[in-house]
Amino acid sequence: MKIENFVRKEVHELPYYKAKELPLSSAADIVKLDLNENFAVERKIMKNLLLSVCKDVDVRLYPPPQGAIAVRAVSSFFGLNEEEVFVGKGSDEILDLVSKTFVKSGAKVLVVEPTFSLYGFFVKLYGGSKVDVLLKPDFELDVDKILRMNGKSSLLILCSPNNPTGNQFKRNEVETLVQEFDGLVVTDEAYADFAKYSMLNRVREFDNLIVLRTFSKAFGLAGIRAGFAASNHSVMNYIKRVAQPFSIDAVSQRLVASALQNWNYFKKRVNYVLKERKWLFQALTKIDGVFPYPSEANFILFKITREGLSSSIVEKRFQKRNVLVKDRGTFPLLWNCLRVTVGSHDMNEAFVSALKEALEE
């Protein structure tokens, strides 16, 4: 029996998404700046937060359905109605549900590139056709090009601040797209806490806007997988129809609520990241052979300009020095570019030192 005969054709065409596992035995020796995790948030604080919420959890019981505890906390904190919020296992699950709900077989979905690769993954998984719309050379939106696809596409996906370019798109241009695009507009704001604005307070104003947020970045909760979507009641009603009732576990729900209650602490750590981001950017500008791009996220994209060197070679040289960064040199517009997370000051200093060595090796 050939198993492949029973597999949907969309699955046949999907690449296998592999994430590297970091051996626990070597974790202490590695400067891990490849996945935009938040090392400004102190491990001891997060451990105590986790232990405190676990005291109230009876794992024999199913968690509150539809993430009720987290939904109440999110809606209260951000001034939204509970009907306007869906909490899931990170932005990844929510992207899956949005695609499952709104991507019809054969439908065209606009994805602004270069950007997060999972957008295209979910579009293809549900039989949609991903249509790439390149950013301008300065990484800004090509609004006219996007709107020329009006009526031909059912969904537009933006990441703002964008991963991996780091820039937040101009507010007026995002608003123009939401107002004039004849379809749903998804704005992924995973890094909005490090930027200037959010579209969360506009979801009632527009009937086609879906805003995604995560607790992995500003709140340092990447390990529990929690994020939320905000939109008007009609959009949320359909997304909730395809969601599993017990998707988000009891510990994660309580951690989300507790993190929001302790926002003053996390806000201070966000400010620490902003301070370190400025330091790291300035350090990169002083290194001959690289060009850093301004960022409004918790990472910086930089280009290798030294003749004879490629981003892939430099990444390998980093690995030899136990420093992990992300090679983005195969993305459109990003030839010879790498992405580095803004870490603690010690981590950032170690990265700068390793970069100087890698360039001269």
Pairwise CA distance, residues 201 & 1, whole Å: 54
State how far the alpha carbon of 266 is from the alpha carbons of 34, 216, 220, 269, in Å: 21, 12, 9, 5
Right CATH number for 56-262 from 3.40.1370.10, 3.40.640.10, 3.30.230.10, 3.90.1150.10?
A: 3.40.640.10
Cα first-last separation, the chain = 53
State how far the alpha carbon of 147 is from the alpha carbons of 150, 160, 170, 205, in Å: 5, 18, 16, 20
Question: What 3-state DSSP class applies to 114?
Answer: coil
State how far the alpha carbon of 121 is from the alpha carbons of 41, 59, 124, 140, in Å: 30, 33, 5, 23
pTM assigned to the model: 0.94
Q: Render each residue's pLDDT in the chain as its tens digit; 361 residues.
A: 777 776 777 877 777 766 666 554 445 688 999 999 999 999 999 999 999 999 989 999 999 999 999 999 999 999 999 999 999 999 899 999 999 999 999 999 999 999 998 999 999 999 999 999 999 999 999 999 999 988 888 999 999 999 999 999 999 999 999 999 999 999 999 999 999 999 999 999 999 999 999 999 999 999 999 999 999 999 999 999 999 999 899 999 999 999 999 999 999 999 999 999 999 999 999 999 999 999 999 999 999 999 999 999 999 999 999 999 999 999 999 999 999 999 999 999 999 999 999 999 8
Kindly provide the b/e burial profile for residues 31-69, where b requires at least 16 CB atoms within 10 angstroms of the residue's own CB.
bbbbebbbbbbeeeebeebbeebeeeeeeeeebbebbeb
Pairwise CA distance, residues 196 & 204, whole Å: 20
Right CATH number for 3-44+264-360 from 3.20.20.80, 3.90.1150.10, 3.40.50.2300, 3.40.50.720?
A: 3.90.1150.10
State how far the alpha carbon of 110 is from the alpha carbons of 94, 115, 177, 186, in Å: 18, 12, 12, 10
Contact predicate 109/155, CB 8 Å:
yes
The neighbouring-strand residues paired with 133 are 112
Q: Where are the domains of the chain?
A: 3-44+264-360, 56-262
Where in the chain does DSSP place strands (E)? 31-32, 85-88, 108-113, 129-134, 155-159, 184-188, 209-214, 227-230, 290-292, 299-304, 323-324, 326-327, 337-341
Pairwise CA distance, residues 69 & 50, whole Å: 16
